[in-house]
Amino acid sequence: MTELQEIWQQILAPYSLLSVLSILLRLLLAFLLGSMVAIVYRWTHQSIANTSFTDTLVMLCMLIAIVMVVIGDSVARAFSLVGALSIIRFRTVVRDPRDIAFVFFALAVGMGIGAGNQLAAITGTFVISLIVMGITYFRGIAVEKNEFILELTILPEAEDSIYQPIFSQMLSTYRQTSQAISKSGNMKLEFYVRLKDPVLWAKFAQQLRQQEQISSVSITEN
């Protein structure tokens, strides 16, 4: 037991209780500000908000804060981190440039907190959030839209007639933008659609999902 205590003390010797509390407080602040970034994203991003993306914004803010603490003033650690992260490949295609902006927003907040400049992180988060919400309000982006990107995955034997009646009933205009065949043999179709009534987008998606020959339906804001 004494040996274990000595080993534990040797591990914690370089770190004081104050430094541990400092790291925990930085993580807590990163979580709070990251959550604020995610909330602003949801408020200003109409139609179907991707909950996975909003969760990622919070996690990203906290992770970058920890990374900045680990790097500190070490240039060698910074280059090592760049080399390690260079092997990561992302398969998700970002359709909206605003999503990229919010990713950088979360990155900047996390970097500010991790670098010990909490005042800049807090001030920047509040100011940028107010600006984004102001732009959203004055440009009328917050008003419900009726333009969406629709992605359908249909069985190989399916015909256009399975979705054409729904399109005629619910859409004012639509245009097919792409068509591909998945590895499973299903057909992937992408449409640019405009609803007659933007309030009924959920009903539109439900009617499509009720079709047996349509295996998946995805609707995102254009």
Each of the 222 residues of the chain gets a pLDDT tens digit; together they read 566 556 555 555 555 555 778 888 999 999 999 999 999 998 887 555 567 788 889 998 998 888 888 777 666 666 666 665 555 555 555 566 788 889 889 989 988 898 888 899 999 999 999 999 888 777 655 445 667 788 888 887 777 778 888 888 888 888 888 888 877 778 888 888 888 776 777 788 888 888 888 888 887 766
Contacts of 124 (CB under 8 A, 6+ apart): 108, 109, 112
Alpha carbon dihedral 39, 40, 46, 51, in 10-degree steps, equals -30
- Was domain 147-221 assigned CATH 3.20.20.70? no
Delimiting residues of CATH 3.30.70.60 domain(s) in the chain: 147-221
Query: pTM for the complete prediction?
Result: 0.57
Tokens of 205: 């998606």
Distance CA 72, CA 91 (A): 31
